[in-house]
Structure 1
């Protein structure tokens, strides 16, 4: 599975990884509307108890991500991106099959542990993009991956919600088919993005463990602050997977089908922003201003969600909140400019580890807030406390982004030869150079 494909056009390679991520996220999206209800079904409809159990589910998932994303990132730096992505897809499909068959919460919990391990390849996909894309186009490329997420969430939660209305386990079997199809697609079509001469010489456990991967950020002080911004964004984003379905059930009386429809609308808006608008926004504002604007809209959008008294008002606020999607591609692009090409896998693993820590904290904080709201029986603006919390966190992240982003390296059209960073697959990369950055060895 490690056969490197010949170098080809950047767009073809980007299309391969786009489809791979799209299929992968669709498999996840299928079960989002039904997993909380499956947990709830084991607890005789007790929403507060389901939220407590789901806290454990989300926490262990993110803990596994924290441990295994740097392992996969370092493995991909050593052996290439392709085998890591393929093995992850295969393992994830087998795990969904297990979750479709279990008949108790402890076994479902074990399945969630395995999901956290096998789904840790998204950081490798991001490293793949950094391999094949010149620096000035990386924000757009990461936006395309955001579009893949959006498209996946347009179709998958909608389908998953309606399949779940037929049988709560049916979406899991659909996810099995998607993951195994992704494995077959990647095996025959996905080319390798990191040629042998650009790989690290050996696999180093000191780099693969989560603490070692985070030490990479200390070697590049310029990116440490922006990594903190990504941490805060990841924490705020956990309000969706940890509480949205149960929150919508509590405040709006929605079932899995309505929750699926809403997540599909979220995905549609994300696809529009990250697929169609990111290039124009970054082109007009630049990466830094695009990041700051995205953070501002995110903070505002979460606040409006908290205030929404009905489900339809919640829908009306979605276009504002969706503009938050500009921030992540801009931030990721700015980070990749500052790191050596041989360490892109480690960088993405380190960022994913930070996101996992944020996920663990978010999985503890947001459901606990929802439990308190449900126990209080309130249905006014205070009931939106989870979204108020997310809004405050994003606002803090915006202030941090404003402070640190001015110190990050900027893209120029010319630079000394020693500062050249050339993507592994892109033929036009000779035209692009990056200003050198200071590395604290």
Structure 2
């Protein structure tokens, strides 16, 4: 087995694995996820009798539980994809997501929603495995551009998903979850019947090593390559800071600006359009000109400015004016993934993404707890007069990410030995 990460992926007979296949899967997945974004917090709020602070605290429990499941299971799913291929893991993940949506659609109370979050956290690996898939089929020098397009699939989900969810939610809060379950099931069928495998048997890991499948074992990979741990730290701080939006945004916008479900849907539409423009049209030429490291720095700086603006904005109109600025955070993850995937061999790409997912799990544990608690405290103490406090904390985390990227991104080069 070659350890050269630049080696071309061997092709199986029949359909050829490629970007188009995985982009379509990621697009459908992100739309189904986007459908429920403006709905779930309001469903939780309905179960709590309309108490916004209590709904935020339940959101903390949901987020922490989901993150804990990701922390434990992410490395296992990553190793599974290195050993048995990307496609089976994607199918497992999509199945878990579809069942989770059904739990939300028919939940008679909060604890049923909680069980759905546990199941989804146990199986959620669609985007991390998709990133490993793309590393299999893309040359190293093209990965930042490809990961940018992959990020645009998520932004497309923010264009169509929340708009669909907001519209259906005006009929009934349960209807969007049924739509998301149906779309995810279609996505599973697409994966089963259409999506080809990207990692041929001769390039897979020869064994499934349980020592690497636990969170601490998977993180050893990050310490084994020059600069990789620091880059992973940048990604962790980025993910940590961005948990503020799914943790509190719907409740925050409703509390501070009085936005309805449909208004939230249109806001996600605007955010998604801005993200798609950056990720699909700007990343390739800009990264080609300034390099992956500077793309990471640009994304972090835009995030700092955008979060400060979001937290300060006294009106909904002022909030929306920051959307184009915040869209430039889209440069960070494609540049970062481009740097990180150059540093590991083909049979380690799943392990790398599993380690990243484990870190994302930690962020998903800490983020909802920190931001949900801070938001609940800030609105219960109105005399303090700073409902955007949690968002300002997110800006501070991205300041740290920017400073860490200044140091660590220098130590990873295209010629890094994958060992």
TM-score in terms of structure 2 length = 0.95
Once the two structures are TM-superposed, the CA of residue 207 in structure 1 deviates from its matched residue by: 1.2
User: What SS class does the counterpart of residue 388 from structure 2 fall into?
Assistant: helix
Counterpart CA distance in 2 for 1:135 and 1:293 is 21
Once the two structures are TM-superposed, the CA of residue 378 in structure 1 deviates from its matched residue by: 5.4
Q: How does 1:331-342 map to 2 (within 5 A)?
A: 331-342=336-347
Once the two structures are TM-superposed, the CA of residue 8 in structure 1 deviates from its matched residue by: 6.3
Is the alpha carbon distance of 1:379 and 1:310 closer, same or farther for their aligned partners in structure 2, counting shifts above 3 Å?
Answer: farther
- Residue deviations 1:50-104 (CA, integer Å, cap 9, x gap): 1111100111111111111111110010100011111221232122112211101
Once the two structures are TM-superposed, the CA of residue 7 in structure 1 deviates from its matched residue by: 7.3
Does the 8 A contact of 2:99 with 2:116 survive in 1?
A: no
Q: Report the equivalent of 2:119.
A: 114
Is the alpha carbon distance of 1:235 and 1:315 closer, same or farther for their aligned partners in structure 2, counting shifts above 3 Å?
Answer: same
Q: In the alignment, which of 255, 262, 270 is matched to residue 257 of structure 1?
A: 262
Does the 8 A contact of 1:85 with 1:121 survive in 2?
A: yes
Q: How does 1:161-172 map to 2 (within 5 A)?
A: 161-172=166-177
Q: Report the equivalent of 2:290.
A: 285
User: What SS class does the counterpart of residue 387 from structure 2 fall into?
Assistant: helix
Q: Report the equivalent of 2:234.
A: 229
Counterpart CA distance in 2 for 1:343 and 1:118 is 20
- Residue deviations 1:251-276 (CA, integer Å, cap 9, x gap): 10112221121122111111111111
Q: Report the equivalent of 1:94.
A: 99
Does the 8 A contact of 2:90 with 2:125 survive in 1?
A: no
Counterpart CA distance in 1 for 2:250 and 2:217 is 36
Q: Report the equivalent of 1:6.
A: 13
Q: Does 1:311 align with 2:316?
A: yes
Counterpart CA distance in 2 for 1:166 and 1:138 is 42
Once the two structures are TM-superposed, the CA of residue 120 in structure 1 deviates from its matched residue by: 2.2
Once the two structures are TM-superposed, the CA of residue 6 in structure 1 deviates from its matched residue by: 3.1
Counterpart CA distance in 1 for 2:49 and 2:287 is 49
Is the alpha carbon distance of 1:197 and 1:7 closer, same or farther for their aligned partners in structure 2, counting shifts above 3 Å?
Answer: farther
Q: Report the equivalent of 2:4.
A: none
Q: In the alignment, which of 249, 255, 263 is matched to residue 244 of structure 1?
A: 249
Does the 8 A contact of 2:226 with 2:411 survive in 1?
A: no
Q: Does 1:54 align with 2:68?
A: no
Q: Report the equivalent of 1:301.
A: 306
User: What SS class does the counterpart of residue 354 from structure 1 fall into?
Assistant: helix
Counterpart CA distance in 2 for 1:273 and 1:8 is 31
Q: Report the equivalent of 2:417.
A: 436
Q: In the alignment, which of 399, 402, 412 is matched to residue 398 of structure 1?
A: 402
Please tell me the root mean square deviation across aligned C-alpha atoms, in Å: 1.5
Q: Does 1:408 align with 2:412?
A: yes
Q: How does 1:30-49 map to 2 (within 5 A)?
A: 30-49=35-54
Q: How does 1:58-137 map to 2 (within 5 A)?
A: 58-137=63-142
Does the 8 A contact of 2:306 with 2:325 survive in 1?
A: yes
Q: Report the equivalent of 1:144.
A: 149
Q: Report the equivalent of 1:324.
A: 329
Is the alpha carbon distance of 1:6 and 1:275 closer, same or farther for their aligned partners in structure 2, counting shifts above 3 Å?
Answer: farther
Counterpart CA distance in 2 for 1:72 and 1:45 is 38
Counterpart CA distance in 2 for 1:262 and 1:118 is 29
- Residue deviations 1:391-417 (CA, integer Å, cap 9, x gap): 1110110011001111112x3xxxxxx
Does the 8 A contact of 1:232 with 1:394 survive in 2?
A: yes
| Most deviating of 251-260 and 130-139 | 251-260
Counterpart CA distance in 2 for 1:91 and 1:317 is 35
Once the two structures are TM-superposed, the CA of residue 118 in structure 1 deviates from its matched residue by: 2.4
Q: Report the equivalent of 1:191.
A: 196
Q: In the alignment, which of 3, 11, 27 is matched to residue 22 of structure 1?
A: 27
Unaligned runs of 5+ in 1: 412-433
User: What SS class does the counterpart of residue 383 from structure 1 fall into?
Assistant: coil
Counterpart CA distance in 1 for 2:326 and 2:96 is 34
Q: Report the equivalent of 1:420.
A: none
Counterpart CA distance in 1 for 2:226 and 2:391 is 32
Counterpart CA distance in 2 for 1:361 and 1:252 is 26
Counterpart CA distance in 1 for 2:383 and 2:407 is 38
Does the 8 A contact of 1:64 with 1:116 survive in 2?
A: yes
Does the 8 A contact of 2:166 with 2:261 survive in 1?
A: yes
TM-score in terms of structure 1 length = 0.90
Does the 8 A contact of 1:251 with 1:379 survive in 2?
A: no
For these two proteins, the number of residue pairs brought into alignment is 409
Does the 8 A contact of 1:69 with 1:121 survive in 2?
A: no
Counterpart CA distance in 2 for 1:20 and 1:186 is 7
